[in-house]
Structure 1
Amino acid sequence: MMDQERITQYIHSLDQGHGAFCDQIAKAARADRVPIIRKETANFLQAMVAATRPKRILEVGTAVGYSALLMAQVMPEETDIITIEKYEPRIPVARRHFAEAGLSDRITLLEGDAGEILKKLDGSFDFIFMDAAKGQYIHWLPDILRLLSTGGVLFSDNVLQDGDIIESRFAVERRNRTIHARMREYLYTLTHMPEFQTSVVPIGDGVALSVKG
């Protein structure tokens, strides 16, 4: 059996970074305990965006703008990103990062509750990156399905919850049981929906990669 921790360390040793600016953002975010995408997942995200070459990207969960900037590094020149963030202290930080990167015209940050904003969005997106409140993924899914174009990719991060997902609800801390139950429901729903072809990938904290048929 593979030693997952050693494998992850090896993958990290291959990482070339994402440029001085993004690497600085990542370092500061980790120091301040801001939840950002893990290193190995970041490379997977970039590879998927590069492979699919989406025209429109939707991100649910901006934080300080790190993952949006990673996607911007590899997306086609004509592509734009809409990203949603609710936590007010992080919004000006993300906007500053987008401005400093010269991407304010290609990355639009919408402020507010993702559930409310998703209901008001229209048009279609070729790539949707979900990385916000994990207990809300299942509630957002109907609008995500509506907004994702045929052939589009839904990339859902943190679906394995540091391994808690395989435990019974009684083995999970009481305060995490609702999130645990909802994520299990989300993964079961994704993998059984006829509209999606889904693979759960044990990279980072787990990614559910879904292609809309």
Structure 2
Amino acid sequence: MHNEMMRRPVIKPAVLNFLREQTTQLTGPLGELEKKAHQDGVPVIPHETVTFMQTLFNLQKPQTVLEVGTAIGFSASLFATCMGPKGRVTSIDRYPLMLEHAHENIAQLGLEDQITLLAGDAADILPTLTPSYAVIFMDSAKAKYLDFLPDCLRLLADDGVLLIDDVLQGGTVFDDDATIAHKNKAIHRKLNLLLTQVFSDTTLVATLLPLGDGVLMITKK
């Protein structure tokens, strides 16, 4: 469950410390869930991404969110909390153990009515969903992001925001392929193809944010 890239920040330590320790912290049960996840090394979104999401949701005011990659349900719970009781989150995950933890955490937070968990492979589930979602958050197998992109763009509202997490591989994504460990070569190649495709697509507007291990933010023109 541990993610080595979480220990390899792409910005200076002093900046990272401020973003994680000095900005507004989550409180209550959601704050406790975030704290425990970080203590246990569970790969949830880091706090700098949390505060960015809070700001984005405050501006965008979405009411429908699609998440690819539930993990323990922390980010889905954050989204539901940001949206308020009328907001709805649909989250997909293929791992039974993660979904079990997510169900427990979501129930403890009292968010069962707002969050729908779908068990299975996103490659099978995404084509069955219908538009549209105001925010889509991809935080799953990085080698699959490029495969999921067409369906996510199809499902995204015209004025929606697509966010793809962990695209920098600890800052190594732009390194020469020959320097990449064999186990990471497929991810390295697929992430570079993803970035090339997104930034060359004239129908999209994209930016790369140095939050956590990198967040790719995409909107439609």
The two structures share one fold, judged by TM-score above 0.5: yes
Alignment-mate amino acid for residue 158 of structure 2: T
Match of residue 81 from structure 1? 89
Match of residue 70 from structure 1? 78
1:129 counterpart (106, 129, 137):
137
Unaligned runs of 5+ in 2: 1-10
C-alpha distance after superposition, 1:41-62 (max 9, x if no partner): 1111221122111121001111
Equivalence map 1:32-181=2 (5 Å): 32-181=40-189
**Correspondence 1:191 to 2:205:** no
| TM-aligned CA deviation for residue 13 of structure 1 | 2.8
C-alpha distance after superposition, 1:92-144 (max 9, x if no partner): 11111111111111100000101111011112111001111111000001101
| TM-aligned CA deviation for residue 78 of structure 1 | 2.1
Matched residue count: 211
Identity of aligned residues (%): 35
Cα distance in structure 2, aligned partners of 1:4 and 1:148: 34
2:190 counterpart (167, 170, 182):
182
Alignment-mate amino acid for residue 47 of structure 1: T
Cα distance in structure 2, aligned partners of 1:114 and 1:107: 17
| TM-aligned CA deviation for residue 22 of structure 1 | 1.7
Higher RCO, 1 or 2 (CA under 8 Å, sep at least 6)? Answer: 2
Alignment-mate amino acid for residue 150 of structure 2: P
Cα distance in structure 2, aligned partners of 1:133 and 1:45: 21
Unaligned runs of 5+ in 1: none
> Runs ≥4 in structure 1, deviation > 4 angstroms?
none
